[in-house]
Structure 1
Amino acid sequence: MKRNAGIYCIKLLPAVVLSLAVTACQSSGDRLTVVDSDASRTGQQQNQSPEPAPGGERDLTVVKTPAQQADQRLAVARTHRIAASSIQSWLSEDEVSIETTKLVKAGTATEEPKYEYTSSILNVSTGQSRESTGEGGQQVDGHMLVKETISPDGGYSFIQKWKDKYIADNFVKNLHTGEMLQIKGDNYLERGGWLNADTYILAAGSMSGRGEIRQISAADGKVTTVTLEDAEAEMFGQFGVSHGRIYYTDNHKVLKVFEPGQSKPVSLIQDVWSFEISPDSQYIAVSTVAQSGDSKGSKLLIYDTAGSLQGSLIGKGDLISYISWSPDSAKLAFDVYTEDKSGMNGVYIFDTRSGRVIPLAQYYASSDPMPHPVYPFSWSPSGNRLGITLDDPKSLLVTQVIDFK
């Protein structure tokens, strides 16, 4: 893809590429506003609507080259290429734990190919690597450290260490005193979140059925079971926690919400493929999927945590496969696949500060057809770097780390 300047005005399906003169796109219900390139250089934006009331429409802009927009808050500074590797975790703003894949023996008609996997620590800025000594999710005291989630006020962390692929040991750590409490009860999932500053909710999962929902007191490790009466939720397709509420999707892809003590849920959104609650608990990013009627395909929408639609359409295509908030909740990364080449395709960033949708394909695409991520997105602790892992014909995998200004 050429890195020529220009601004895309997207009517979603199909997209219309505009060169010099830019006009506004309006469609029924779904609205995007473009920025006049000349007005942007003088700091005067065309077609700008005032800030919408909660639940109202928000004008969005899809910008082709953010670096050339004088009033654009989000821009790409540079990219880093990590060959044959995927990011396991960020250890700091510069260092990542990576897993490198090497083909040892090619596959045949009767045998699967054989691979060798090695772990190391890489400094993204300098390119220097060192041997891994148990950081970033490697073996620690006979366990595999999978996930650590810090409470909203930074007082506690919830830690899961897997004993094997099905069973984990769970702990709550007091970050002020260093005291670690082990939480009783087996679990098969790592889904959960902080209900408030000192209460963690864990969807424990089960080999048969959806399993228990456990409410864990961080102060003393006490566990109580949260009651949920919903025959339509034999298993949790998706699960999240925010501001005293528990969210999940049922058997029919309906996003529902309830509070502990209120066992019957409220239905919020239909046809939900996936959802992600922003780290600041202000928004829910929802990708929908429908296979019939006018709603065929996937859409990406932003709701508040009460289930009210915030603004209009963020993205649309045949499939939205990955969505991920940056740790500071300022950016939402998402990948769109569309068979129609004129539609949205590739990785985009929704900038919550400016309300703009920025395509990243020009910064990481290296082949045609458009490559799409094969691993979930990986944000640095500050949210200023994003790791995107793709298939690569030469090195099996390649991870592109994009630095934002």
Structure 2
Amino acid sequence: MKHRFRNYGVKLLCIAAISAALTACQSQDRLTIVEPEAGGHQTSQPPVSSGGKTPGERKLTVVEGTNGKSGQELIVNGTHRIASSNIEAWLSENEVKVTTTKLIKEATETEEPKYAYTTEQVSISTGERHEVTNHGEAPPDQHLVKEEVSPSGKYSFVQKWRDKYTADNFMKNLKSGETIPVKGGNYMEIGGWLDGDTYVLAAGSMSGKGEIRLISTDGTYTTTVIEDKDVEFYNQFGASKGRIYYTDANQMLKVVEPGASNPIPLIENVWNFTISPDGEYIAVSTATNTGEDQVSKLLIYDAAGHLQGSLIGKGNLISYLSWSPDSSRFAFDVYSENESGMNGVYVFDTASGKVSWMAPYYSAVHPAAHPVYPLTWSPSGEKLGITIDDQEALLATYVIDFK
């Protein structure tokens, strides 16, 4: 079933350690990887701007243990509970569209349990619900509309999925409301804004990597080719500040500029990565196998590949990476078999460099409860939705309201 908690104890394949400093590319910003110092501690490296000036160093911190109270920076106004539901989309700061799950038949020795699903609009402040669509016993389609706003806030790239493998793409002018169709179908939905006027889409294919399209705001596009023998298809893919980022079959994060012949390796052991909406930061979770245990770490890099301070998360598995829309906050979940380690949902504040533990605000019964759906931010980034398993209501979503 889609909303059941994944097995966090599954071990990953062994992958190599962090690589040494690597060469530069065509851009004025140097693309580097900071190697750990002796003792395993990683140092802060100030980013190099394209103007050649070195800004002041920002110190990032790591939370030790599960309580995270010593570094608490965020102030919480309150928490709102939405029973039996997970958030599909934020409609406004105070209203969400949710999928509500109801058990209609218990499991037997020969049959799986049966569930009914409905779509509702919920007011966060009052809890009032309004049913929108009844999906009956069929699970709701998770691929309806995907919209990604440009860093400038002037345009958005819109995908409307007709079925599991077919999407109609559009470029939308957010000021005028004009929507321009983009020709060409696609099999994948991964991409990102290369700059303020170009969206890069890894279209994918049933029989290979497919095209990489550079889509302009007028709906036209050109294609670019990445020569990489270690990629059969793109699983993780993104863009920022004129560069394309992706992982290859060996879990290596690589970067390439459109038109360049060869990509540059950046970071090994990458389990997941996500680029902040403003394109300034890349959050990277790594995974290595130490023999008996899997170790995952969460690191923040700038768009040029410079490590920004020390690691901000560590455990056996780090998942559900989520930037707030304004890029000021970053939420993530950490699972550790050792109960004294980091466990639960944390929020990293980019301004202060502090990491705050969220578990007390969404699970009084089990402080180390883990989310079973992706973490979701409100449009302003002042609210965070966390969905966990619930003994009475199957699952429950907690919306944490920050000051």
Please, what TM-score do these two structures have when normalized by structure 2? Answer: 0.81
1:93 aligns with 2:93: yes
Question: Quick one: which amino acid aligns to residue 201 of structure 1?
Answer: V
1:28 paired residue number: 39
**Are positions 1:118 and 2:129 aligned together?**
no
Higher relative contact order (CA 8 A, sep 6+): 2
Structure 1: which amino acid aligns with 2:350?
T
Could you list the per-position Cα deviations for residues 241-273 of structure 1 after superposition, in whole angstroms to 9, with x for gaps in the alignment? Answer: 111111000000000011111131110000000
- Mapped partners of 2:166, 2:182: distance in 1: 13
Aligned to 2:156: 157
The letter for the 2-side match of 1:393 is: Q
| Alpha-carbon shift at residue 155 of structure 1 (Å) | 2.3
Q: How many Å separate the matches in 2 of 1:211 and 1:31?
A: 38
Letter of the 1:165 partner, please give it. K
Could you say what secondary structure the match of 2:187 adopts?
Answer: coil
Q: Contact 2:119–2:133 (CA<8 Å) still a contact in 1?
A: no
Deviation, 1:208, is: 2.3
1:57–1:312 CA contact under 8 A, matched in 2:
no
Q: Note the alpha carbon deviations across 1:174-210, whole angstroms, 9 max, x for none.
A: 2233322211111122111111122111111122222
Does structure 2 retain, via aligned residues, the 8 Å contact 1:338–1:344? yes
Q: 2:325 aligns with which of 327, 331, 343?
A: 327
Cα distance change of structure 1 residues 207 and 109 upon mapping to structure 2, 3 Å threshold: farther
Alignment of 1:9-88 (within 5 A): 28-30=39-41, 53-54=46-47, 58-60=59-61, 62=63, 64=67, 73-88=73-88
- Match for 2:216: what amino acid? S
8 Å contact kept, 1:29–1:312: no
Pair 1:187-2:198 in alignment: no
Paired residues for 1:358-373 under 5 Å: 358-368=356-366, 370-373=368-371
Q: What is the match of residue 355 of structure 1?
A: 353
Residues 335-373 of structure 1: CA distance to partner in whole angstroms, max 9, x if unpaired?
110001111111111111111111111111243473111
| Structure whose CA Rg is larger | 1
* Contact 2:73 2:354 (C-alpha < 8 Å) held by counterparts: no
Going from structure 1 to structure 2, the CA distance change for 1:211 and 1:295 (only over 3 Å counts) comes to farther
Aligned equivalents of 2:181, 2:98: Cα separation in 1: 29
SS in 2 for 1:363: helix
- Distance in 2, Cα, partners of 1:31 & 1:197: 33
Q: Partner letter of residue 346 of structure 1?
A: G
**Cα distance change on mapping 1:265 and 1:133 into 2, 3 Å:** same
For 1:53 and 1:125, locate their aligned partners in 2 and report how far apart those are by CA, in whole Å: 42
Q: Kindly indicate whether residue 264 of structure 2 is the aligned counterpart of residue 266 of structure 1.
A: yes
Task: Specify the code of the residue in structure 2 equivalent to 1:115.
Answer: Y
Output the CA distance in 2 between the equivalents of 1:154 and 1:31: 35
Shift of 1:133: 7.4
**Equivalent residue pairs, number:** 350
Give distance in 2, aligned partners of 1:372 and 1:233: 32
The 1-side partners of 2:224 and 2:292 are apart by 39
Counterpart-to-counterpart distance in 1, 2:276 and 2:391: 34
Deviations along 1:254-305, one digit per CA (max 9) or x if unpaired, are 0001111113111000000000111111110000001136994100001111
Further displaced range: 345-354 or 266-275:
345-354
In structure 1, the residue matched to 2:139 is none
Give the Cα separation in 1 of the matches to 2:293 and 2:228. Answer: 27
Distance 2:332 2:283 in 1: 10
Contact 1:52 1:58 in 2 (8 A): no
Q: CA deviation at 1:62?
A: 3.6
Q: Structure 1 runs of 4+ off > 6 angstroms?
A: none
Does the Cα contact within 8 Å between 1:332 and 1:351 map onto a contact in 2?
Answer: yes
Q: 1:162 to 1:59 in 2, by over 3 A?
A: closer
CA distance in 1: counterparts of 2:288 and 2:63, whole angstroms = 24
Q: Counterparts of 1:87 and 1:104 in 2: how far apart (Å)?
A: 21
SS class of match (2:191): strand
Aligned partner of 1:217 in structure 2 is 216
What is the TM-score with the length of structure 1 in the denominator? 0.81
Select 1:280's aligned residue among 275, 278, 281.
278
Aligned to 1:374: 372
Counterpart position of 1:383: 381
The alignment yields a C-alpha RMSD, in angstroms, of: 2.6
Q: Which runs of 5+ in 1 are unaligned?
A: 1-26, 33-50, 135-142
- Conserved 8 A contact 2:294-2:317: no
Q: Structure 1 residues 294, 353: closer, same or farther in 2, change over 3 A? A: farther
Mean Cα deviation higher: 372-381 or 286-295: 286-295
**Inter-partner Cα distance in structure 1 for 2:149 and 2:179:** 14
The unaligned stretches of length 5 or more in structure 2 are 1-37, 49-56, 135-141
Distance 1:237 1:62, change over 3 A: same
State how far apart, in whole Å, the 2-side matches of 1:102 and 1:133 are: 14
Q: How far does residue 225 in structure 1 lie from its aligned partner after superposition?
A: 1.4
Residue 208 in 1 paired to residue 207 in 2? yes
Identity in percent: 59
Task: Write the distance in 2 (CA, Å) between the matches of 1:244 and 1:31.
Answer: 27
**Secondary structure of the corresponding residue to residue 288 of structure 1:** strand
Residue aligned with 1:132, SS: strand
Alignment of 1:169-180 (within 5 A): 169-180=168-179
**Shift in Å, 1:377:** 0.4
Distance 2:301 2:143 in 1: 35
Query: Residue 279 of structure 1 contacts residue 327 of structure 1 at CA under 8 Å; is this kept in 2?
Result: yes
Q: Quick check: 2:45–2:306 contact (8 Å CA) kept in 1?
A: no
Shift, 1:165, TM fit:
1.1
In structure 2, relative to structure 1, the CA distance for the partners of 1:106 and 1:294 (3 Å cut) is closer
SS of aligned partner of 1:362: helix
**Contact map agreement 2:360 2:367 (CA 8 A) in 1:** no
